[in-house]
Structure 1
Amino acid sequence: MMEQLIKQIEFIKEIDKLKYVLRRTCLLHSDRRENDAEHSWHLAMMAIILAEHANERVDLLKVLKMVLIHDIVEIDSGDVFIYDTKQNHTNTGEELKAARRIFGMLPPAQAEALVEIWEEFEAGQTAEAKFARALDRLEPLLQNTSNDGGTWKEFDVRYEQVVAKKSVIARGSEQLWAFAEDMLKQNLEKGILKK
């Protein structure tokens, strides 16, 4: 029992590193970049508050697990900017290696369960994964809108690029996508996003 506890505590200490992984997006109404731990916490709160808007009934606990662990792999792989034109945002091979190392610090049953949840999120096929991924795409949209374009302006991201990346929201929630689409159109009309 003590050996299991020691492994769990080592994992808990390891994931503290998530607080140092900076994302490109800044906090709402701020010029301070968000870290992955803040992002994951925010998504967990969004899941609790917005679950009623999912296209299908979801297991909220599973969604919470997904949003809380989905970026832990970035401790090893780093955060890849979704609009990066040189590096593919879908670096699943490198991230799977990271998932196996980090979750592998836990006792085998827990490690396997977390890798499975992480893989389910990445595959994006279940109702829970679709909804979790919708939230993951919605949060930066809220941030960039609150910051008059934020990283969109900084990296000259165009309206069509944002729509292409954000349209995945609809797979998890048509209601959230309608809200997001309206927000994107407003950003276009205000000149925050350009065609």
Structure 2
Amino acid sequence: MRSCYFGPVLQPKLGDDPLNVYRWMLQSVQNGCRKEEERSHMTPTPKYQVCPYAAPLGMESGAIPDDSITASSEWGSSGYEAVKARLNTQEFSGSAGGWCKKNSDRTPWIQVDFVSKVHITALITQGRDLGETPVYNWVMTFTVEFSDNGLEWSAVMTAGAVPLESGNTDSETQATVTFAETLFARYLRILPKTWKDECCMRFEVLGCRLD
């Protein structure tokens, strides 16, 4: 026989009818058991219920406007801008196939401002497009941060509660990293840590806009 009770135990007062006190306590135990049964039949909330149909948020398609993509630096006077970081950008005369940082930039980053808060579940990354004269540049390891105001940042963590670290192994292969928990933020920032020859990359962000 199990007993359930959710509430304080009242001490009988002098002169109380013992039978009434017993009935009160019995009713409390029964009510507590009913609450426990109701909780046991609740449907668990799916981990990604907040983003049931994760899809590209607009880097490759252009739905994210150019002025929402910024970086700590850009190599050269033109051709390597942050907007070239869109997934599958192709190299052509006068334009690099990806964003590349300045050589002097020791703490590079590139970020997206979604204008309003969105659900973010994953990243797809690439290195710089090879082009007609192949160049081999890609980010080998990077970390990710998110923010609501663009000033205060939090690191994206793994399920093991350590900062997420991912990257690419060549210029063209797309690498997908899925976050352990869905983010809900306005800004997403990628911070390259190591790279092949030059720090260059392209990427897409996956998630949901639930307006």
User: Structures share a fold, TM > 0.5?
Assistant: no
Q: Flag the structure with larger Rg.
A: 2
TM-score, length-normalised on structure 1? 0.25
- Structure (1 or 2) with the greater helix fraction: 1
Normalised by the length of structure 2, the TM-score is 0.24
Structure showing the higher strand proportion among its residues: 2
